[in-house]
């Protein structure tokens, strides 16, 4: 995935759409520059939105597209400068300045199209990778829940068979462990349905829930051994 192919010197493989020739009327120049001015505002917003989307994919992608976003901003600045020159031009003969401005707008559009094409490929690649990571993690968590359920069931059976009344009093702790398991499973369900942006935060919460469950189980088991 090479970003170099989007450098300004690259030959265009396709001709981008040209702006229509303005009608030769007294208001043609004003109408034309207002339209281009509005489009340049939209381009500023598009570049900002692209930057936000890039940042969502993490530091690696930010570094990858940092230079390209700067190129897009430079191309927009060139178009803004061309528009400013056109505004200062005489009303008669202003069309001479139009072709340079249109070329700047074409370059901006072409570079954005190329940037978006590569960005979408990278976005898809990351989405697929994250999806695989999520599935692997969910499978691991499901296995851990199954293992803990077995351990709690065995502990419960041990308590029920115990003749020592002190040990029988740990039935309440078993119920607490069951509640922690239920809370953990609810977190897992939330994790499974979470969006890509939030799953790392939920993963941290899941790990904390398991750590809490483990401490509670080991504490109960340790006390029972002393009885």
Give the per-residue pLDDT at 74: 97
**Average pLDDT value for the chain:** 79
Domain extent at residue 70: 3-127
| CATH code at position 85 | 1.20.120
**Whole-structure pTM value:** 0.59
Predicted confidence (pLDDT) per residue in 157-186, tens digit: 877 776 666 565 667 777 777 777 777 777
16 and 79 within one domain: yes
Last residue of a domain, one of 105, 127, 149: 127
Give residue for tokens 């340049």: 40
CA atoms of 82 and 74, how far apart (whole Å): 12
68 and 151 within one domain: no
136 and 90 within one domain: no
For residue 208, the SS3 value is helix
Predicted confidence (pLDDT) per residue in 113-153, tens digit: 999 999 999 989 988 887 888 888 888 888 887 887 888 78
Quickly count: other Cβ atoms within 10 Å of residue 221's Cβ: 14
149 and 99 within one domain: no
Q: CB burial class (10 A; 0-12, 13-18, 19+) of residue 104?
A: buried
CA atoms of 5 and 114, how far apart (whole Å): 8
H helices within the chain, ranges in order? 28-56, 59-88, 98-161, 165-168, 171-193, 199-226
Predicted confidence (pLDDT) per residue in 69-85, tens digit: 999 999 999 999 999 99
111 and 12 within one domain: yes
**Considering the chain, what percentage of its residues have pLDDT values greater than 90?**
31
144 and 108 within one domain: no
Give the per-residue pLDDT at 219: 76
Total number of domains in the chain: 2
């Amino acid at each position: 995935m090479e970003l170099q192919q989007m450098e300004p010197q690259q030959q265009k493989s396709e001709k981008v759409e040209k702006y229509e020739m303005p009608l030769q009327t007294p208001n043609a120049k004003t109408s034309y520059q207002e339209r281009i001015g509005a489009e340049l505002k939209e381009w500023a917003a598009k570049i900002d939105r692209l930057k936000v989307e890039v940042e969502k994919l993490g530091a690696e992608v930010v570094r990858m597209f940092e230079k390209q976003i700067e190129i897009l901003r430079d191309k927009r600045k060139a178009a803004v400068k061309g528009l400013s020159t056109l505004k200062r031009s005489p009303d008669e003969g202003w069309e001479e300045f139009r072709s340079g401005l249109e070329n700047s707008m074409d370059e901006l559009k072409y570079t954005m199209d190329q940037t978006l094409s590569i960005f979408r490929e990278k976005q898809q690649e990351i989405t697929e990778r994250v999806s695989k990571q999520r599935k692997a993690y969910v499978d691991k968590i499901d296995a851990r829940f199954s293992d803990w359920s077995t351990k709690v069931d065995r502990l419960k059976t041990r308590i029920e068979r115990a003749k020592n009344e002190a040990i029988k009093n740990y039935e309440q702790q078993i119920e607490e462990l069951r509640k922690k398991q239920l809370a953990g499973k609810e977190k897992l369900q939330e994790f499974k349905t979470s969006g890509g942006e939030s799953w790392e935060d939920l993963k941290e919460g899941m790990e904390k829930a398991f750590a809490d469950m483990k401490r509670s189980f080991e504490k109960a088991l340790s006390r029972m051994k002393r009885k």
